[in-house]
C-alpha cells in the first residue's frame, strides 16, 4: 500500500481524512499536542472499529434473511461491541463538537487520449457504464489490404494466357540478345533479331542420349578445344558412365601434347574437378579467363641451395 501514489490509492485519502477526524477528537478532549505514534494507533483503531461495526451489522442483517441493514442491525452490532447505545444521543449533542468538511472529490484523472484514431463505439444499453469503454475501432475492424484475387474462370484464363505470352516474348528476346542471331534485314542488324538455328550434324543423337548428367554435353565440346587440363579430363572420365570412351581417349591423347603444365598433385585436382565442370564451359568459349578457375601455379623458389617442400 505504501508503494502506490497518493492520488491513485483511495486508502491514503481516506486515511488522511480519518487522521484529521481523530485529531479533531483529541483537540476536543483537551490535548494540544500529540505524538505521531499514539495518533497512528488511534487512527488504526478507529478504522478497524468502523470496519468491525459494519461487518457485524451486516452479519446481523443477513441473519434475519435481509440484505440491506437497518438501524436495529446497527444497534445490535453496537451492543455486541460494547457501545453504550443510550449515551449516543447525549454524545451527539455535546457542546464543542467540531465538524470539518471533507475535501471535494477530485474528478477521476482522464486518461490522455494518445494515439486515438477514430470515434470509439458507445456502450450498448445492456452494458453498464462502469465497465471500460470500447477500444479504438481500428483494432477490430478488418479492412483488406489487397484486392481479392480474381476467381472467375474467364479472367483467370485470360491472365494465364497473357502471362504465357509475355514469358515467351521475354525469353526469346533474352536469347536473341545474348546468343547468336540471324539478321532479317541486311542494313539493320538489330531490328528484328532472330535466334540463330544451329543444326547438329547428327540431329537425332542428342535426343536419344540420356541427359541426366550435363557433363557429357560439355565433354563433347572439350574434345575439340586444345587447352585441356589433363587430370581433370581423366578424373571426369572416371566419374562418367557410358558414352565416355570417346572423350577419355581424346583426353589421354592430349597428355603428351601439353608439357607446359607442371605436375599438379592429385589432392587439389579433386577439389578443382568440381569447379571444372563449370570451367569447361568457359574453356569451350575460351574468351573469358576466370582467375578462380585457373590451375594452381606454384611460385619459384629463390635461393638455390634451400629446398623446401611445398605443403
Partner 1 sequence: MGPREGRTPGPNLSDFMMQLEDYTPTIPDSVTSFYLNKVGFEVSDPRIVRLISLAGQMFISDIANDALQHCKMRMSGQTKKHTKDKRLTLSMEDLTLALAEYGINVKKPHYYT
In this structure, the number of other CB atoms found within 10 A of the CB of residue 95 comes to 5
Q: Does 46 bind partner 1 (CB under 8 A)?
A: yes
In order, the DSSP letters of 115-136 are T--SPPPPPPTTS-TTSPPP--
Q: Does 296 bind partner 1 (CB under 8 A)?
A: no
Q: State which residue, 99 or 298, has the beta carbon closest to partner 1.
A: 99
Q: Does 87 bind partner 1 (CB under 8 A)?
A: yes
Which residue from 136, 134, 104, 131 is spatially nearest to 118, judged by alpha carbons? Answer: 136
Minimum CB separation of residue 142 from partner 1 in Å reads 43
- Indicate if the alpha-carbon torsion angle 291, 297, 298, 300 is positive or negative: negative
Minimum CB separation of residue 121 from partner 1 in Å reads 31
Please, are residues 223 and 244 in contact by the beta-carbon 8 Å criterion? no
Please, are residues 32 and 3 in contact by the beta-carbon 8 Å criterion? no
Binder of partner 1 out of 7, 49, 262, 270 (CB under 8 A)? 49
Please, are residues 284 and 296 in contact by the beta-carbon 8 Å criterion? no
The three three-digit cell numbers of residue 153, written as one number:
474462370
- Give 293's DSSP letter: G
Q: State which residue, 75 or 282, has the beta carbon closest to partner 1.
A: 75
Binder of partner 1 out of 34, 183, 250, 281 (CB under 8 A)? 34
Q: Does 76 bind partner 1 (CB under 8 A)?
A: no
Instruction: Give the interface segment with partner 1, choosing from 34-42, 158-166, 174-182, 271-279 (CB under 8 A).
Output: 34-42
Positions in the binding site for partner 1 (CB under 8 A): 10, 14, 17-18, 21-22, 24-26, 28-35, 37-39, 41-42, 45-47, 49-51, 53-55, 57-58, 68-71, 74-75, 78, 81, 83-89, 91-92, 97-102, 105
Amino acid at each position: 500500500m505504501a508503494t502506490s501514489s497518493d492520488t491513485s490509492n483511495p486508502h491514503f485519502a481516506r486515511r488522511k481524512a480519518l487522521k484529521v477526524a481523530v485529531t479533531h477528537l483529541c483537540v476536543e478532549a483537551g490535548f494540544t499536542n500529540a505524538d505521531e505514534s499514539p495518533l497512528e494507533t488511534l487512527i488504526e483503531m478507529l478504522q478497524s472499529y468502523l470496519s468491525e461495526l459494519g461487518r457485524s451489522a451486516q452479519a446481523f442483517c443477513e441473519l434475519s434473511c435481509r440484505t440491506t441493514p437497518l438501524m436495529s442491525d446497527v444497534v445490535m452490532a453496537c451492543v455486541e461491541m460494547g457501545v453504550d447505545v443510550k449515551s449516543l444521543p447525549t454524545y451527539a449533542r455535546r457542546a464543542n463538537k467540531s465538524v470539518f468538511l471533507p475535501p471535494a472529490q477530485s474528478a477521476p484523472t482522464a486518461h490522455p487520449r494518445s494515439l486515438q484514431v477514430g470515434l470509439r463505439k458507445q456502450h450498448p444499453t445492456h452494458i453498464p457504464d462502469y465497465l471500460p469503454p470500447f477500444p479504438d475501432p481500428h483494432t477490430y475492424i478488418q479492412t483488406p489490404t489487397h484486392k481479392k484475387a480474381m476467381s472467375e474462370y474467364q479472367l483467370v484464363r485470360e491472365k494465364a494466357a497473357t502471362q504465357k505470352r509475355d514469358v515467351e516474348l521475354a525469353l526469346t528476346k533474352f536469347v536473341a540478345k545474348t546468343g547468336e542471331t540471324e539478321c532479317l534485314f541486311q542494313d539493320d542488324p538489330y531490328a528484328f533479331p532472330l535466334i540463330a538455328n544451329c543444326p547438329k550434324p547428327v540431329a537425332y543423337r542428342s535426343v536419344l542420349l540420356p541427359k541426366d548428367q550435363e557433363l557429357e554435353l560439355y565433354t563433347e565440346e572439350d574434345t575439340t578445344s586444345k587447352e585441356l587440363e589433363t587430370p581433370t579430363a581423366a578424373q571426369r572420365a572416371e566419374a562418367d558412365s557410358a558414352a565416355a570412351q570417346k572423350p577419355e581417349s581424346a583426353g589421354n591423347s592430349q597428355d603428351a601434347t601439353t608439357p607446359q603444365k607442371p605436375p599438379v598433385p592429385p589432392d587439389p585436382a579433386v577439389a578443382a574437378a568440381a569447379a571444372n565442370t563449370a570451367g569447361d564451359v568457359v574453356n569451350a568459349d575460351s574468351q573469358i579467363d576466370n582467375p578462380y578457375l585457373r590451375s594452381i601455379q606454384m611460385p619459384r623458389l629463390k635461393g638455390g641451395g634451400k629446398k623446401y617442400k611445398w605443403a
